[in-house]
Structure 1
Amino acid sequence: MKVTETYLKGCFVLEPQVFGDERGSFLLEFNKKEFAEKTGFKGDFVLGNQSTSQYGVIRGLHLQKGEFAQTKLVRVVKGRILDVAVDVRKNSETYGKVFSVELSGENNKQLLVPRGFLHGFSVLEDDTIVSYKCDNYYEPDAEDGVLYNDKDLNIDWKIPFNKIILSEKDLKLKFFYDF
């Protein structure tokens, strides 16, 4: 597995090796020992989530606060997304900085989003399936987030404005300066 740390400390892009022949393909999605050696992450994933979305959906930017903070390992089973991580660790040199990467069922890349980061993604193809593991359980009262179109973050979600689809909950998130 090729592992590359982004310019946001602790945030990694992972590229598993894919083996293919006339039958199809195989890849090792996760190996705890190798993962820990290459990323330094020594926790355990305790929750697995999967979503299916249509083109234009933006989910995020979300995080869990305090003791419910989560590290996420995100991958796309089918389709394509622009996956986005924002460093909101107060004492970080890259506080407020954004990293994005295209994840797809074809490129098999994964993104490790550490605790203390906002996370979101935009869906670039219909019927996209996103799967992600979390190292902590979800607590509704610990949920927080920032509006997808915050001017300070200036994220290009790669979706035309008139095609964006948001949940009511995501429309009510705060601006980054209020976060």
Structure 2
Amino acid sequence: MQPFKKYAMQRRDVQKQGNWPKSGSDIIVFVILDTVVNTNICKNGGSCYDDAGAQFCTCASGFGGELCERTLEQPHIESDDGRIASLSLACWILALSFCLSLCFGIMGWIFYRKERHDSKELREEVKRLQNELKMQTSKHNLITKRIRTKPEERKLLSKEVP
């Protein structure tokens, strides 16, 4: 930043002394000070520049005015990006939970059908074994009766039992 010359005027009031007029008038003397000043007149982080002997400010973002003394309101732009993202996430979660529920339902149905089929086969096997056991028992009883009976009784029993 280039230093600027600052011109200031001072007012001096001079009272009557010695050979000054007796009417008691004040004399105003203006003194021009020609000094180099490195001060930045811009506020709020603005930067100064000189253009043809005049000083101007370039204001930082969010500030305005001749000396950057005013705070500018930033326009608030509402965005639907957050709402869209949350809605999209909710849709994905809903779709995922539906798919998982469907998978668990199908797996449960398959397991139920398999267990039902297995239990049906098991019941049929139990019935078959019970019938076989009855047949074995009846044969055993028949053989036992034949062995324990006398030959005459055997003839009678053989006619009764097929």
Which one has a bigger Cα radius of gyration?
A: 2
Structure with a larger share of its residues in helix:
2
Q: Which has the higher contact order (CA 8 A, sep 6+)?
A: 1
Q: What TM-score does the superposition give when structure 1 sets the normalisation length?
A: 0.17
Structure with a larger share of its residues in strand:
1
